[in-house]
Each structure stands twice: as structure tokens, then as C-alpha cells.
Amino acid sequence: MEPTSLAGYVPFDEERQRQYVEEGYWRETTFHEVLDEHAEAHPDRTALVGPNRELTYGELAASTRQIASYLAGELGLRPNERVVFQLPNCSEFVETFLACSRIGVVPVMVLPRHREAEANHVVELTDARAYVVDHDRYPNRFDFVGLADDVRAAHDSLEHVIAVTDDGAAELDECVTFGSMRDERWVNTYGEQVVETDVDPANPGVMLLSGGTTGLPKAIPRTHNDYVFQWERMAEVAGVETDWIAFPSVPIGHNASLNCIVGAALWEGATVAVEPVLKPEHLMDFIERVDGSYTLPMPTQILDILDHPDVDEYDLTSLEVLVSGGQKVPPAVVERAVERWDVGFCNIFGMAEGPLICSRPEDELAVQAHTVGRPIAPEADEVRIVGPDREENLDTGEAGELAVRGPGYFTGYFRNDEENAENFSVDGWFFTEDVLARRPDGNLEVYGRMKDTIIRGGENIYAPGVEDELIEHPKIANVAVVAIPDDRLGERPAAVVELAEGAEDVSVDELSSFLDERGIAVFKRPERLAVLPSLPRTEVGKIEKKALEDRIGDLFEASNDDQ
């Protein structure tokens, strides 16, 4: 099969490609070759446990061959073409993902909570030819086939909707049903064509989406080489073992799950287990049922489980290592989780663009609670903390912007010259817009997004630092510290809180004296307060400050807790 063009993809420069291969960082291995090696070495080991199916490595390799044969032969998908995935955490995701790898097709990770705006934007941006959704196998409260159909009607590139279905085949006459792809006859007819496809590990194997805290998501191409490099390093630092059950706790198409959990487990030849509903009760029940060992939830999910009234009813002692990040992990969350479950804790700073910086399970608790540790590949990952000019390297202890370059980092957003020109230097450094500092012991500490800094009369306040303190207040379950515009000082800090169970209210004065006892400077203390029944969350469960900022006027006009 002839590859199609990847115009708009920024490749690694040749010199760096050569260096990464020579130094052994890149193994020139594709996603499906990682699978095939395990399928050959231990075909009967369990690879995948889904709500409906359990597959060994041998079976997973076979099923991905069938699906790949269908996609290439019946649908005519060619190397480098894109397919949108919008699936819950399910075995069909993993099967289709690895099937695409076999034919060099690039999955694009739309998340279940994305809707028309994101879906249309992503298909427009990537010219996707197929769109994979669930119809009725998993608990959906949304018509994903309807969404995919509408997007197809608006885009000529999008020819096929593939639907995962149990018994809805009759009503889906315009769709390919997932079950029909999984058939040995496709291998008999088109298997040769699949085997002969030359998949270049230096090309993108997946496109992730940026967090989308501002505007529409950007597409982040990750090559087989750079992604597999991170799977290997993540498995190594987390100490993943072949008999572990790794399971995603956030949507599987998010880098946190796909790279750190699914990828690391596949690299090691461990088992991946998937559960489509990610609410605390479901996760606890699932961990107990499958003996889950390794996962990456958002900090708020860990808190929801720790504070769940029924937590004592579940046996979660199978947990070996918890990774958490995506937003600042309050130190108290790390301490409580380690104490309760006796787990190794990887406090991680992660970005779909590449950086994975984390504490190690064997680190001291104080390092796990207060820092994000070190890059996962310290000898290969180039990391700098730079000043506002993006040139000067700051000293140990000074907070500045994180800049990265290396064999596990992306090289540019897909078809986005403007953003790439803004955030990359000519010699390939990516500027993350996140503020970190290196401690004397070499571990890194996160201060927040550059945008998450409140500037009050010229003084910088890193909102996550104040949030870390406030979350320990007994009346507070969750909190976001945001800026409210102020004529005199520019901005003032304000808190939006979700009350803890049993708490009826809380006042600005109570917060202020609590912060006073903890030695937090007066200028950092929230001056206004709003209480919400629950804070808005992003599609992966991070507290969505953007949504709060959009409502700042309403939130604080309505609040009488002035000054």
C-alpha cells in the first residue's frame, strides 16, 4: 500500500533521529511489533481484560490482524491516513489501536466528552477517513453514532463510521459494525497486503489532543519511536511487572492512560484491564474484581475514593503503584494514599506533548508528596528551566518556564505553523508554558501554568500552591484559586470551593486565618469566596479553571463575602 502524505507533520531532524537510534533510545519498533514480540514469546499470557472479552497475547495479535485486514482491504485505508477514535475504555479500543499500527494508519484521540465543536474541528484538521464510536455496548448517555454521522455529512474526507454494537446492527445501515471486522476471512483475503505494509517507526503512530484549556484542541503527533521509548521508560521507573494488572482510570485516549498505563503494560507484557465507567464506586469495584495493580487517576479521583463513605467495603490491597498528576497533586493526597494502601507513588508532571517527570515508588514520601521527581529518562531527556526571555537558564531553586527536547518529546503540533513558531526554538526546544523549579536534590517542583499565576500589585501568586493549603481545610472538599480583575491592583486572588460533606458554609475570614496559621503571606490569601455544589471538570476530570474564569463576573457579583 502506498503511503499518503503527512503534510503538516514536523519530523525530528535527521541528526537527532540518527543520534537517538545510535544511542539505543529508539528501538525502531512499532506499536504492533511490541505486541507481536510478546505474542510470540508467551502467546497464552493474558493481554487484555475487557468488560466483555478476555484475550491472551496470541489472541490479541490475531484479532488485530483481522481488523487491520478489514481496514486495509475492505475500507482501503492507507498508511499515514487518520482514523478518529471516540470510545470509552474498552477492549475494542486497544484492538483497533493496534490494528491501525499494522497498516500505518494514525488513530486520533477524541475523548468521550468531546462534542460537535471538537469532533468537527479534529476531522477538519486531520482529514480523517474513518470515525470509530460505541453504539450500544457500553453505558452511553449520548448518541455517538449520530455525532459521527453529522460530522461525516459535513466532511468529504470522512467516509466510514465504525460502530461497536451488541445488537444494533439492523439500525446501523450506514455504518461498519465492529464485530464484522473481527473475522479470519479478512486475513485470508487481505492478510498478505497487511504483512507487506511497511510501517515506518519514525512516522506518527498516534495523534493525541492537547488539553484544550484554551480554545479547540491541537493535534499532537507522536511517532512509534518516541512513544515506545516512553512506554519502556515509564514501565521501568514505575517498576511494572509482567504479572501486574494495569488499568486506565481516566479516558484511554488521554496520554496519561495510553502512554503511562497501556503503553507501559504492553511494553512489559503485563495485562491491561479496562472499565468504561470511571466513577469512584465503579473503579473500587473494578480494582477488587480484577486485582488491579497499577493506574493513573487524577488527584481528585483519589480524593473521591479516599473520602468515599463505602471505601472500607472494598479490598484495594492489590494496588502496587499509583501514578497521579495532570494537575498539582496536593501533598495530603499522596500521604493519605500511601498510608492507606501502602503503594509506591509516582507524582507525575505529564503532557501529551511529551514531558513525563515523576517521583519514583522507592523515593522518600516527602519527595513523592512535594515534588514531581525527575524526568523518566534522565540521561536522554533534555530539560531546562528558563527565564522570561526563554534563553537564560535559571539557577536551582528559581521558578521559571520548563523547556524540553529529547527522544520522547513531540516535534510540533500537526498543521499549526503559528503555534509551532511561537513555542519552539529554532534548535528544537519546546517551551511548555508551565512553571517549575529544580530543588537542590535534583527533584522538580511544579508551580503552575504561566497563566495560572495571579499577579496582585506586581506580586506573583502561584494558584496551585495556595490550593494545596486550602484543600486541607476541614470544610473544603475541592478548591480553585482564581484571579478577579481589580482596577487598582490588576488582579486579586479569589477562591471557588466545593464544601466537604457535612460542612454548611465557610467564610473568607475562616480561610484567611487558616492560611495565616500555615504561614501563607497575606497577599496570597483569597479575598473573595464563592461556593459551588461542584467545580467544573475537564473531560479527564481536572478542575477546569477556564470555565470558572469565564464566569468570574457572575460568581463574585453574587457573593456577599466581600473583603
Residues at the contact surface with ligand AMP, assessed by CB under 6 A: 210-211, 255, 325-329, 348-352, 372, 432, 434, 446, 449
CB of 223 to ligand AMP, least distance (A): 17
Pick the closest to residue 445 from 385, 500, 393, 494 (CA basis): 385
Query: Buried (b) or exposed (e) across 431-448, using 16+ Cβ within 10 A?
Result: bbebbbbbeeeebbbbbb
State which residue, 314 or 409, has the beta carbon closest to ligand AMP.
409
Cα dihedral: 155, 157, 159, 160 (round 10):
-90
State which residue, 47 or 404, has the beta carbon closest to ligand AMP.
404
State which residue, 191 or 400, has the beta carbon closest to ligand AMP.
400
Pick the closest to residue 98 from 293, 231, 212 (CA basis): 231
> Taking the CA of residue 218 as centre, how many other CA atoms within 13 Å lie in the half-sphere pointing to its CB?
21
For the chain, how big is the Rg over CA atoms in Å?
A: 24
Amino acid at 338: V
State which residue, 64 or 249, has the beta carbon closest to ligand AMP.
249
CB atoms within 10 A of CB 429: 20
State which residue, 467 or 527, has the beta carbon closest to ligand AMP.
467
CB of 157 to ligand AMP, least distance (A): 25
Residue nearest to ligand AMP (CB): 211
Pick the closest to residue 423 from 415, 437, 433, 414 (CA basis): 433
Distance CA 256, CA 297 (A): 8
CB of 377 to ligand AMP, least distance (A): 17
CB of 309 to ligand AMP, least distance (A): 28
CB of 446 to ligand AMP, least distance (A): 4
Pairing of strands 374-375, 356-358: antiparallel
CB of 540 to ligand AMP, least distance (A): 6
**Angle 91-102/31-41 helices, nearest 10 degrees?**
110
CB of 212 to ligand AMP, least distance (A): 8
CB of 517 to ligand AMP, least distance (A): 25
Distance CA 479, CA 526 (A): 11
State which residue, 211 or 269, has the beta carbon closest to ligand AMP.
211
CB of 350 to ligand AMP, least distance (A): 5
Pairing of strands 430-438, 400-405: antiparallel
State which residue, 201 or 325, has the beta carbon closest to ligand AMP.
325
What residue has cell string 457572575?
554
Amino acid at 245: I
Q: In this structure, what are the phi and psi dihedrals at residue 456, rounded to the nearest 5 degrees?
A: -105, 110
Q: Cβ neighbours of residue 358 under 8 Å, at least 6 residues apart?
A: 237, 323, 325, 346, 347, 348, 349, 350, 372, 373, 374, 376
State which residue, 68 or 444, has the beta carbon closest to ligand AMP.
444
State which residue, 253 or 280, has the beta carbon closest to ligand AMP.
253
CB of 349 to ligand AMP, least distance (A): 4
Distance CA 332, CA 472 (A): 7
Distance CA 71, CA 436 (A): 44
Distance CA 131, CA 110 (A): 10
| Helix/strand/coil for 510 | helix
State which residue, 56 or 223, has the beta carbon closest to ligand AMP.
223
State which residue, 255 or 295, has the beta carbon closest to ligand AMP.
255
CB of 315 to ligand AMP, least distance (A): 29
